[in-house]
Amino acid sequence: MLFSGTVQIDAPRARTWAFLIDPDKVSSCGPGVESVEIIDAANFKVRAKVGVGFISAKFVVNMTFAELTAPDKAVIKASGQAPGSAVDAVGSMLLSGPPEGPTTMDWSAEVDISGSLAGVGARLMEGTANKIVGQTFDCIKAKLEG
């Protein structure tokens, strides 16, 4: 599944960049995130509870920055598991706009869900993904613009 979008954030580019590549900060905006464990500069582990329709699953997701080109481009790879289900994703973002803001973020994510969640939740997946993305960006905007 391919998701993409553009978000306008009324904040300077450098501050936006710093926030988005900080695992603790950005994860604090992920709905259902229970913990973030920093392993090294490029790797961290997120534990999150995700609900799709009537199913909820606790995922353990290994995140890796595959590319970090300050101050505008990042690619992150994620692979995670919940009992009977797995997620493999590649997300990328490109920031643009004047240094003082507002900052424009073009983002895309290719997400593959495997296992029971893919079967049982297939028809609910897009709605759920849009909801999670929406909540995440609302939170990011609120924290950066506030």
Partner 1 sequence: MTIEMEPQTTPEVGGMGHSVKRKEDPRFIQGQGEYIDDVNLPGQLWLDIVRSPYAHAKIRSIDASEALKIPGVAAVITGKDLEGYKLHWMPTLAGDMQMVLPVDTVMYQAQEVAAVIATSRYAAADGVAAVYVDYEPLPVIVDPFEALKPDAIVLRPDKGPDKQTNHIWHWESGDEAKADAALAAADVTISQDIYIPRIHVASIETCGCVADWDPVREQLTLHMTSQAPHAIRTVLALVAGGAGLPIYEHNIRVKTHDIGGGFGGKVPVYPGYVLAVAASFLTGKPVKWIEDRSENLQADSFARDYHIHAEMGATKEGKITGLKVKTIADHGYTDAAADPSKFPAGLFNVITGSYDFDNAFVEVDGVYTNKPPGGVAYRCSFRVTEAVHAIERMVDILAHDIGKDPAQLRMENFIQPEQFPYTTPTGWEYDSGNYGAALTMAMEMIDYEGLRKEQAEKRERGELMGIGISSFTEIVGAGPSHTFDILGIKMFDSCEIRVHPTGKVLARIGVQTQGQGHETTFAQIIAEELGFPVSDIKIEYGDTDTAPYGLGTYASRSTPVAGAATAIAARKIKEKARHLAAHLLEASADDLEWTNGKWSVKGSPDRFKTIQEIAFAAYTNHPQGMEAGLEAVDYYDPPNLTFPFGSYICVVDIDKGTGQVTVRRFVAVDDCGNIINPMIVDGQIHGGLTMGFAPALYEEITYDERGNNLAGTFMDYLLPTAMETPAWETGKTITPSPHHPIGAKGVGESATVGAPPAIANAVVDALWHLGVRNIDIPMTPQKVWKILHEKGVAP
Binding residues for partner 1, per CB under 8 A?
A: 58, 60, 81, 83-86, 88, 112-120, 122
Q: How far apart are CB 123 and partner 1 at their closest, in Å?
A: 9
Q: How far apart are CB 105 and partner 1 at their closest, in Å?
A: 29
78 exposed, middle or buried (CB, 10 Å; 0-12, 13-18, 19+)?
middle
| Length of the chain as a residue count | 146
Q: How far apart are CB 43 and partner 1 at their closest, in Å?
A: 14
Question: What are 34's two structure tokens?
Answer: 């229970």
Q: Please give the backbone phi and psi of residue 28, each rounded to the nearest 5 degrees, phi first.
A: -65, -15
**13 and 94 in contact (C-beta within 8 Å)?**
no
Q: Which is nearer to partner 1, 49 or 100 (CB)?
A: 49
Q: Which is nearer to partner 1, 80 or 101 (CB)?
A: 80
